[in-house]
Amino acid sequence: MATSYIQQSFNIQFEYKVFFTEKLFDPSNPCFADFLRSRAEKDIRKKLLFIVDDGVTKHHEYLQEQISIYCEQLEHFELVSDIVIVPGGEAAKNDLQLFHWLVNAIDEHAIDRHSYVIGIGGGSVLDLVGYVAAVSHRGVKHIRIPTTVLSQNDSGVGVKNGINFHGKKNFLGTFAPPSAVFNDAHFLQTLDERDWRSGMIEAVKVALIRDAGFFDWMEAHGQQLSQGEPQSLQYLIRRCAELHMAHIGGAGDPFESGSSRPLDFGHWSAHKLEQLTDFELRHGEAVSIGIALDSVYSWLTGLLDEPSLERIIQLIKQLRLPLYHPLLEIEDDQSPILAGLEEFREHLGGRLTISLLRAIGQGQEVHSIDPAILRKATGMLRDKW
């Protein structure tokens, strides 16, 4: 009997903007209102469900009131009765009960696919909110309002979201681009120093693999950045966000269907370190250590020259970020940190693909890591710097 088939093929266009503003919910700021008006439909009243990081509400005690007053002026949109407050930090991504609770909130408030779920908080809360929106009704629109350096320059402007499962970072998740991102510089003013400092490492990362000129700029402004000088920090955030978005749209694989993750330079060990420290290490701190490790490894394997390695190490030190953690140590082939390599490969499947450095501003993908050389690299980070 002859075999036959029918075939379908289609493309979906995704588009969203990242806005840079300050005091987003000040009645005199039209940025958020103008965006929603551009999405209004005359005969449909769309609902707005806000989910807010509790760390943000502690430092901005009038935020809920400001949101309520601001939304009163919006035609064709309705703020639901509850502004939902959730715990921030990595704990938000480790709590399945919290995930189910938020899905129930979408059900209880009758949030449909014409409505918007709006997340305000750090990267972990935005990852959670994006995942909740993506799996409810097969995809509710979501808006991100990142409140940390790390989320404004990296995770909050991307297309990924998810939660942790079985002790593995982002094991559950989807690719779901936001409808819009609003980077409000005012939120950064109340950040803990540890948070704004660790958030800068993603800019170091993207400069190392994509933009040598940006790395030069960070070196020249290292003192201002280490002190959190607002103008320098804002430029760093914007340039980092631009480079991340350029990669997402220009690399040809925005949903990571292949085996390559160049934007995760330094992340294979970072994800494992976060888990091994029970997330006591901030994500940015773990990435700082991971970048240092992979930079030293790049030098030891002959890819990267020694002066470039010294520049990388010195910039990380100037930003007062860590280079080493005892759990990085490799005693034998069963050392816990090495499991991070297989978990990193497993997350995408296919061949192990790790980004290393050929030069500042130029990444190099490899498909194997030598544990003996890796052990030497960890020893150098422990003893030399």
pLDDT per position as a tens digit, 296-354:
999 999 999 999 999 999 999 999 999 999 999 988 888 899 988 888 888 767 788 89
Q: Residue 257: pLDDT band by 50, 70, 90 thresholds? A: low
All structural domains of the chain: 17-190 (3.40.50.1970), 193-246+259-383 (1.20.1090.10)
In sequence order, the 6+-apart residues with CB closer than 8 A to the CB of 35 are: 17, 19, 180, 182
> Strands 160-165 and 168-175: what pairing?
antiparallel
Q: Apex CA 140: angle with CA 62 and CA 68, to 5°?
A: 20
pLDDT per position as a tens digit, 213-237:
999 999 999 999 999 999 999 999 9
3-state secondary structure of 302: coil
Amino acid at position 58, single letter: K
Question: Which residue pairs from 82-86 have beta carbons closer than 8 angstroms and sit at least 24 positions apart in sequence?
Answer: 82/109, 83/50, 83/51, 83/52, 84/49, 84/50, 84/51, 84/52, 85/52, 85/53, 85/54, 85/57, 86/51, 86/52, 86/53, 86/54, 86/121, 86/125, 86/128
Residue 163 sits at φ, ψ, to 5 deg, of -135, 165
pLDDT per position as a tens digit, 146-167:
999 999 998 899 899 999 998 8
Q: Indicate if the pLDDT at residue 253 is higher than 70.
A: no
pLDDT per position as a tens digit, 80-124:
988 999 999 888 999 999 999 999 999 999 999 999 999 999 999
Contact by Cβ (8 Å): 304, 359:
yes
Q: Indicate if the pLDDT at residue 258 is higher than 70.
A: no
Mean pLDDT across 273-295: 94
pTM: 0.91
Q: Indicate if the pLDDT at residue 259 is higher than 60.
A: no
CA distance 40 to 75: 8
Q: Indicate if the pLDDT at residue 63 is higher than 60.
A: yes
